[in-house]
Structure 1
Amino acid sequence: MKIGYVRVSSQDQNIDRQLQKMIDLGIEERFIFVDRQSGKDFDRPQYQTMKRIIREGDLVYVDALDRLGRDYNGIIQEWKHITRELNADIVVLENESLFDSRKFKSMGDIGELMEDQFLSLLAYVAEQERKKIRQRQAEGIALAKAKGKQLGRPKINLESLSKEQRQVLENNFPKWKNKEITGVEFMKMLGLKKNTFYKIMKEYSNI
């Protein structure tokens, strides 16, 4: 049976390219497992579900080795578990000429040795790339802080309102206080959410 595994690191990343490759290989959609999670470990729901259904003789496809994971020891351990304990096979589409466990198995003991060497090299590269990503993120955060940039969602307060919002506030605050308009109506007019709205109303009341 053909099985596909697709992984991206976050919820907003696009999986279409990886999915299409699996579909083009003739893999049924119910046997394509997708995780939107970091590759730092293998505690991923869809990956663990996939492992539970793998049987001897199955063929698992991944787009690239780093889609399987980015942890050096974990990649080697999982690869060997699938290919040598479950007796299934793995094909890495990006490096299919090198990473097709069926080819190594056909070469006997020397094939296993070669597989270990290639796997160690590529797993090391995948982990180093993960470390570089984390380093770049840390450097970016440090640089932003040094420049005084606010990280995360910007805080909204009375001073941060636009000129148009201030005008709407000034014109309609008395109406809201006199219950001529509701809080919900006033929120919509200002384009604010409930918590922010009441925070700004409190600020404005104290002016």
Structure 2
Amino acid sequence: MKFGYVRVSTKDQNIDRQVTKMQDKGIEERYIFMDKQSGKSFDRPNYQAMRLMVRQGDEVYLDALDRLGRDYDGIITEWKYITREVGADIIVLENESLFDSRKFKSMGDLGKLLEDQFLSMLSYVAEQERKKNNARQAEGIVEARKKGVKFGRPKQEISQAFKDEYAKWKSEEITATQAMKNLDMKPNTFYRRVKEYEESNK
């Protein structure tokens, strides 16, 4: 049986390109497992569901090695579990000419040695690329902050209605619960706004 595993890091990223590649390989839609989650951890619901279904002789297709994960040790552990413990195969479409566990198996002990070398090399490259991306992102944030760019949610303007209710609450004319009700605010929103208002008036 053929399985496809596709992953993007955030919910905003488009997963269609990877899905199309799996469909082109003749993989049924119900056997294409998708996660919109970071690759740092392998505790992803759909990956784990696929992992439980894979049996000896099955084939697992990935668009690229880093779709499996972004942790060097984790990639090696998962690859060896699927290909050696379960007895299934993994095919990485981005490097299919080199990275296809079916080819390694056909070479016997030499294939296992070559597979270990390729896996270590490609996993290492994937992790180093992730570290470089993180470093570039951190540098970009530092530079942007120097130029006055602010990150995070923009603070909302404090309305006059809030100021009035705040003043009544502080003077103990009303309770915090009553102020929240009057403003139609949830507790976490109310107290966050209180903090922002008080900080702006220091």
Deviations 1:18-42 (A, max 9, x none): 0001111111111100011111121
- Residue in 2 aligned with 1:162? none
- Residue in 1 aligned with 2:174? none
TM-score, normalisation: structure 2? 0.77
Quote how far apart the aligned CAs of 1:129 are: 1.1
Task: Give the AA of the match of 2:4.
Answer: G
Quote how far apart the aligned CAs of 1:57 are: 0.5
Which ranges of structure 2 fall in alignment gaps of 5 or more residues?
160-184, 198-202
Quote how far apart the aligned CAs of 1:152 are: 1.1
TM-score, normalisation: structure 1? 0.75
Task: Report the Cα distance in structure 1 between the residues aligned to 2:134 and 2:120, rounded to whole angstroms.
Answer: 21
- Residue in 2 aligned with 1:180? none
Identity of aligned residues (%): 70
Deviations 1:71-98 (A, max 9, x none): 1111111000000000000000011011
Task: Report the Cα distance in structure 1 between the residues aligned to 2:158 and 2:101, rounded to whole angstroms.
Answer: 62
Task: Report the Cα distance in structure 2 between the residues aligned to 1:121 and 1:38, rounded to whole angstroms.
Answer: 22
Task: Give the AA of the match of 2:3.
Answer: I
- Residue in 2 aligned with 1:108? 108
- Residue in 2 aligned with 1:125? 125
Task: Report the Cα distance in structure 1 between the residues aligned to 2:158 and 2:45, rounded to whole angstroms.
Answer: 44
Matched residue SS, 1:7: strand
Task: Give the AA of the match of 2:114.
Answer: M
Task: Give the AA of the match of 1:80.
Answer: K
Quote how far apart the aligned CAs of 1:142 are: 1.7
Quote how far apart the aligned CAs of 1:136 are: 1.8
Deviations 1:137-178 (A, max 9, x none): 21122222222221112112169xxxxxxxxxxxxxxxxxxx
Deviations 1:84-137 (A, max 9, x none): 000000000011011110100000000000000011000001101111121122
Matched residue SS, 2:13: coil
| 8 A Cα contact 1:70 1:130, kept in partner | yes
| 8 A Cα contact 1:144 1:151, kept in partner | no
Matched residue SS, 2:17: helix
* 2:79 equivalent to 1:98: no
Task: Report the Cα distance in structure 2 between the residues aligned to 1:130 and 1:48, rounded to whole angstroms.
Answer: 23
* 2:19 equivalent to 1:16: no
| 8 A Cα contact 1:6 1:33, kept in partner | yes
- Residue in 2 aligned with 1:39? 39
CA RMSD of aligned residues (A): 1.9
Task: Report the Cα distance in structure 2 between the residues aligned to 1:151 and 1:14, rounded to whole angstroms.
Answer: 24
Task: Report the Cα distance in structure 2 between the residues aligned to 1:158 and 1:76, rounded to whole angstroms.
Answer: 52
| 8 A Cα contact 1:7 1:67, kept in partner | yes
Which ranges of structure 1 fall in alignment gaps of 5 or more residues?
160-192
